[in-house]
Amino acid sequence: MNHNRFFGNSTSVLLFGFLITHSLNTLADNTWSYHQESDSLTNQTYSFAQSPLPRPGLYDDMMLEIVCKDNKLQAVIDADDLIASQGSRFNLEYQIDKKKPATVQMKTFPDSKRKGYSNEFAKSMADDLLTGQAVFIRVNTMLRTVLSSSIALDNAAAPIKRIFADCGLGVASNVATEPAYSLTGFEQEFSKLTEVQQQQVLAKIKKIMAETK
Longest dimension (CA), the chain: 62
Nearest to 104 by CA among 144, 76, 130, 78: 76
Are 128 and 190 found together in one domain? no
Enclosing domain of residue 146:
31-178
Task: Give the pLDDT of residue 127.
Answer: 96
Residue 171's contacts (CB-CB under 8 Å, 6 or more residues apart) are 127, 130, 161, 164, 177
Are 41 and 19 found together in one domain? no
| CA 116/CA 137 separation, integer angstroms | 13
Are 124 and 187 found together in one domain? no
| CA 42/CA 55 separation, integer angstroms | 35
Are 104 and 203 found together in one domain? no
SS3 4: helix
DSSP-derived secondary structure letter, 160: H
Sign of CA dihedral 156, 159, 165, 167: negative
Are 112 and 161 found together in one domain? yes
Q: Assign 159 a pLDDT band (cuts: 50, 70, 90).
A: very high
Task: Quick: pLDDT tens for 26-85.
Answer: 444 568 999 999 888 888 899 999 999 877 777 899 999 999 999 999 999 999 999 999
Task: Quick: pLDDT tens for 83-140.
Answer: 999 999 999 999 999 999 999 999 999 999 999 999 999 999 999 999 999 999 999 9
Are 195 and 157 found together in one domain? no
pTM score > 0.85 for this model?
Answer: no
Are 75 and 22 found together in one domain? no
Are 103 and 139 found together in one domain? yes
Burial 8-35 (b: 16+ CB within 10 A, else e): eeeeebebbbebbbebbeeebebbbebe
Are 53 and 16 found together in one domain? no
Are 71 and 125 found together in one domain? yes
Are 40 and 118 found together in one domain? yes
Task: Give the pLDDT of residue 30.
Answer: 61
| CA 34/CA 159 separation, integer angstroms | 5
C-beta atoms surrounding 182 within 10 Å: 11
C-beta atoms surrounding 44 within 10 Å: 10
CATH at 35: 2.60.40.1880
DSSP-derived secondary structure letter, 152: E
Are 43 and 24 found together in one domain? no
| CA 170/CA 185 separation, integer angstroms | 26
Structural domain count, the chain? 2
Packing angle, helices 195-211 and 10-27, rounded to 10: 140
